[in-house]
Amino acid sequence: MGISLSSEQITALAPDASSVSAAKKLAKAKNWQNIGQSSEALWGDCQGSALYQTRIEISTHTIQCTCPSRKQPCKHGLALLLLACNEPSTVPEVEQPEWVSKWLAKRAGAVKRKETIQTKRAEGEEPGPEQIKAAEKRLALVKQGVEQLDLWLSDMIRNGLGTVGQQSDRFWQDEAAQMVDAQAAGLAARLRRMAAVPNASRNWPERLLEQLGELALLIRAYKHLGQFEPGLQEEIRQMIGWTLQEADVSQLGEHVSDSWLFLGEQTDTLEHGYTQRTWLIGRKTKRTAMLSQFRPFQQGFARHYPLGCEARATLAYWPGVASQRAFVEDMNSTTFLSTKKLIADTLPGEPDIATFLSTLATTLAIQPWRNRFLCVLRNTTIFYEQATSQWWVRDQQGQALPLAMTANGYWTLLAISGGNPVDIAAEWNGETLTLLGMIAERGYVNCQEEL
């Protein structure tokens, strides 16, 4: 019984150095109450500004704590692991409290459901009559919704965009609600995003027309789904609203093993919560990956990644063409933990902006609906253009891409770089770059923390 991790492996789980330092201070028996362990879990109450309940599943090293920290694992979970590792006698074997047992049972149920799905797919089990009937009903609903949206778009274009800027938010939300009823949630999400475009900038008609064109192209593609290769068919279905769970992706998707660099993340606010994109790139393959997750308001994200670190792992990609959405299959494995290290040397990026844009154009030629890309560039310079009040990233050939506007500008990052060329990682949305990180003299810098 007991944990199998060493103190070095435990500290490797930490999101940053400050979490390690805080955890070591708390890893003393005097800071804990109602502490205990079983063959399945560790648990205890840590006294801070409040009494925080911390529980850890031993087999997967999964940590859950009632503290409000956005860092995961939190310092309380790391401290409890360190205490059990360094002073095992202070963590007695006792009966699990109800709040731990219920949590373990819930996790076991989720794992069992996932394994059942995987087993059925592996055995080629055919869907039953009820499943076939439900699938046919959804197909009919989606078809009806797509036809309705196509007519709605045609009416809008026929009437012209001149009146669209005078429409209320209800104009878009009502049509989005119709797509939800048609079980085409992907189309509904696109309509909600469009609602923010009218009157938001001087060139809003151009931006809106571009997005309307993409939506019309998606509708046309869905109507002729059978004409495309299987990978693109799957992506079109996902953009309409069909979803794949990780169990499905593990079974059907591409698996790529590499030493992955966790470069940074972006969080957006949605109607019912937040969505987060974490960007990775493979050291050897130079394959990019986007780890996406959603959380409702008042809840935390289920997974937290070691930003600014590099580790060996296997990623499973959602089926598609030039797919970029993925998840880490073996994040809690010994290999992942033992190979985790800070990013210290150059990034495996493109040598210049022209190469990046050429690669991007190739991707858009086969998947024209993609609107976010990871941009990793070598030897670039951050500079400010006073005439236009615009910040830019410039490569060694003199080409430049604009940076997204921030409240305080990029003076801190400019100072960190010393005005010298740096390797950068950024998210490109077709118009501007949002910096995620860069390599400077002090190592990898998380730009979102500095801005």
Q: What's the rounded mean pLDDT across residues 77-101? A: 92
- The answer to which of 62-66, 108-112, 196-200, 222-226 has the lowest mean pLDDT is 108-112
* pLDDT at residue 186 greater than cutoff 90: yes
Neighbours of 134 (CB within 10 A): 12
pLDDT, greater one: 360 or 121: 360
Cis peptide bond upstream of 97, omega within 30: no
Neighbours of 283 (CB within 10 A): 16
Residues 47, 49, 51, 55, Cα dihedral to 10°: -80
- Give SS3 for 45: strand
Neighbours of 341 (CB within 10 A): 12
pTM equals: 0.76
What pLDDT score was predicted for residue 310? 95
**pLDDT band, very low/low/confident/very high, at 360 (cuts 50, 70, 90):** very high
Tens digit of each residue's pLDDT (9 = 90 or more) over 102-120: 888 887 776 666 555 555 5
**pLDDT band, very low/low/confident/very high, at 121 (cuts 50, 70, 90):** low
- The answer to which of 139-143, 218-222, 224-228, 297-301 has the lowest mean pLDDT is 297-301
Tens digit of each residue's pLDDT (9 = 90 or more) over 34-80: 999 998 999 999 987 778 999 998 887 888 888 877 677 889 999 99
What pLDDT score was predicted for residue 123? 52
